[in-house]
Amino acid sequence: MKIDEVGYWSELKLEIIKKYASAYSTILAAQKSALDHHYIDAFAGAGIHLAKRTGEFIPGSPLNALNIVLPFKFHHLIDLDGKRVKNLREMTKNRSDVRVYKGDCNAVLLEKVFPEVRYENYRRALCILDPYELNPNWKVVAKAGEMKSIEIFLNFMVMDMNMNVLWKNPNAVAPAQIERMNRFWWR
Ligand X SMILES: C[S@@+](CC[C@H](N)C(=O)[O-])C[C@H]1O[C@@H](n2cnc3c(N)ncnc32)[C@H](O)[C@@H]1O
Q: Residue numbers of the site for ligand X (CB under 6 A)?
A: 14, 43-45, 60-61, 78-81, 84, 104-105, 130-132, 135
> Which residue lies nearer to ligand X by CB, 34 or 79?
79
> Which residue lies nearer to ligand X by CB, 81 or 116?
81
Residue 148 CB, nearest distance to ligand X (Å)? 24
Contact of 68 with 22, CB cutoff 8 Å: yes
> Which residue lies nearer to ligand X by CB, 59 or 71?
59
Element housing 87 (H / E) = helix 82-91
> Which residue lies nearer to ligand X by CB, 25 or 61?
61
Residue 81 CB, nearest distance to ligand X (Å)? 4
Residue 103 CB, nearest distance to ligand X (Å)? 7
**Phi and psi based region of residue 45 (left: phi greater than 0; alpha: psi -120 to 50; beta: remaining):** left
Element housing 165 (H / E) = none
Residue 82's CB: how many other CB atoms inside 10 A?
10
Calpha distance 46→39 (Å, rounded):
17
Calpha distance 23→88 (Å, rounded):
24
Bridge partners of residue 154, in order along the sequence: 129
178-180-185 Cα angle (round to 5): 90
Residue 120 CB, nearest distance to ligand X (Å)? 27
> Which residue lies nearer to ligand X by CB, 34 or 78?
78
Residue 159 CB, nearest distance to ligand X (Å)? 12
